[in-house]
Amino acid sequence: MKKVILDVDTGIDDALAISYAIHSPALEVCGITTTFGNITVEEATRNTLQMLELLGAADIPVYQGAVRPIVRELTGKARLFHGENGLGNVVLPPPVTAAQPESATQFLISTIKANPGQITLITVGSMTNLARAIMAAPEIVTLIEQVVAMGGAVTVPGNRTPVAEANICADPEAAAFVMQSGIPLTLVGLDVTMQTLLTREHLREWRARDTPVSRVFADMCELYMDAYATVGNVRGCGLHDPLAVGVVIDPTFVKAVPMHVEVDTSGGASDARTIGDRRARPAQAANVQVCLKVDHERFVQHFLRHVMGN
């Protein structure tokens, strides 16, 4: 089993990714760290604890992370897509468990150092926790197995601005720092995630399954799909964060291309754009594996088989 840490800003697709990872026989979830993005970090921590309890996985430790970006002010929540509480306005019981006293940054550093070459970090929110961990302990760059990050829009339009994707927008400077750090990084961006589709027919199947988990997920995703419909995606919603988990489970779900990628942090209309250069130039060697193609049907079927467990 591959040892993974999930770094989340638990909204709807984060919740799906958490369930997918927990139920995958290929992964051992060593812990979950939280950050801001879809919602505040405090809300993300609460939602993560609630999801773990719903899934019967409350023994997985949760570590609260960054409150704000490393340079900028905190931006607003993604209420349209994730609801006021981040979980599609589905009301779950207050968590009976609590986050660990150790911070997300401390946990990342200590776990990577204790398991050299064995930890894969899956980030599906801002990259702030990882950036802070590298700043505090640069040696983890060579000790981690890999980072798989849901973020960016290298060859397609953005979803936060015409050119920029939401997770990169959440903390552009953190993303830029991580990409320049030398850490082994695979970017699972809108280039591929928008090709993965969860449909209303899938939600009907979940409702027919009629379990506590399937009912909650169907209710959450109903709001998510309604939000997608308002921007023209009437067939369903993209499985953004679950695809990042899927790439760790089975890298053949995607085709990745080495590129030199930078994040535009200059401000203005192009702020937080992920700029990829495929030309082979020594001065700008490839620093990121960018996913450009996805076997979407095979991935979606695998996701559906595992996301609810047995």
| Span 189-222, pLDDT tens digits | 999 999 999 999 999 999 999 999 999 999 999 9
Can you tell me the distance from the alpha carbon of 61 to that of 100, in angstroms, rounded to the nearest whole number? 7
3-state secondary structure of 51: helix
Contact between residue 125 and residue 48 where contact means Cβ atoms under 8 Å apart: no
Q: What are phi and psi of 55, to 5 degrees?
A: -85, 0
The confidence score (pLDDT) of residue 285 equals 84
- Would you say residue 73 has pLDDT above 90? no
Annotation says 250 is catalytic: no
Residue range 110-133: mean pLDDT, rounded: 98
Annotation says 240 is catalytic: yes
Selecting among 7, 9, 171, 191, the annotated active-site residue is 9
| Span 223-271, pLDDT tens digits | 889 888 887 776 889 999 999 999 999 999 999 999 999 999 987 656 8
The confidence score (pLDDT) of residue 38 equals 87
Selecting among 7, 13, 82, 240, the annotated active-site residue is 240
Can you tell me the distance from the alpha carbon of 136 to that of 115, in angstroms, rounded to the nearest whole number? 18
